[in-house]
Amino acid sequence: MKKSILTLAFIVGSSFITFSIITGFNYSLQQNPWKVPDAAKNKKNPIANDEESLKAGKSLWATHCKSCHGTKGLGDGSKAAQLKTDPGDFSTTAFQANTDGALFFKTSEGRDDMPAFKKKLSDEDDRWHLVNYMRTFKK
């Protein structure tokens, strides 16, 4: 009886520790806030959010972003399940509360699974077009 209680306690304890490590690790990656410098947050978008910009942004999105972030920015792209971090839901109020400068910085610098697009899209205007397009994902 004593041995079976110890065995059960060991199994339950081991399971709890394993679960905590796995979920705690994932939680810390997904909840780790972006550190955006104030100068970047306050950077103004020089590109008008007009039809031309949205068309350019949509094309860039389809080529560079859709596979992870999904067609509508919901984080449900075809590669999303392969990522170690959550690609996010760009339609949320929290995401849309980011300044244009913050979104430009995050797109440019990247982190973890998110590549730095300042090299892939060296033309800053292209990254600003993406910022404008991300604004269309509001709920």
Q: Could you report the per-residue pLDDT of 92-110, keeping only the tens digit for each?
A: 999 999 999 999 999 999 9
* pLDDT in the model for residue 93: 96
Tokens matching residue 67 = 């596979």
Percent of the chain with pLDDT over 70: 78
Which of 17-21, 35-39, 79-83, 121-125 comes out lowest in average pLDDT? 17-21
Same domain? 106 vs 79? yes
User: Per the confidence metrics, is the pTM higher than 0.75?
Assistant: yes
Task: For residue 53, give the H/E element and its range.
Answer: helix 51-64
* pLDDT in the model for residue 32: 80
Q: How many domains does the chain fold into?
A: 2
Same domain? 94 vs 111? yes
* pLDDT in the model for residue 5: 58
Q: Could you report the per-residue pLDDT of 20-68, keeping only the tens digit for each?
A: 444 444 443 445 888 999 999 999 999 999 999 999 999 999 999 999 9
Same domain? 19 vs 45? no
**Ramachandran sector of residue 65 (left: φ over 0; alpha: ψ -120 to 50; beta: rest):** alpha
- The CATH code of the domain that includes 103 is 1.10.760.10
Same domain? 53 vs 100? yes
Same domain? 46 vs 27? no
Same domain? 39 vs 83? yes
What average pLDDT does the chain have?
A: 85
* pLDDT in the model for residue 139: 77
Same domain? 40 vs 26? no
* pLDDT in the model for residue 13: 47
Same domain? 19 vs 87? no
Same domain? 41 vs 1? no
* pLDDT in the model for residue 1: 61
114: helix, coil or strand? strand
Q: Which domain holds residue 102?
A: 35-137
Same domain? 52 vs 98? yes
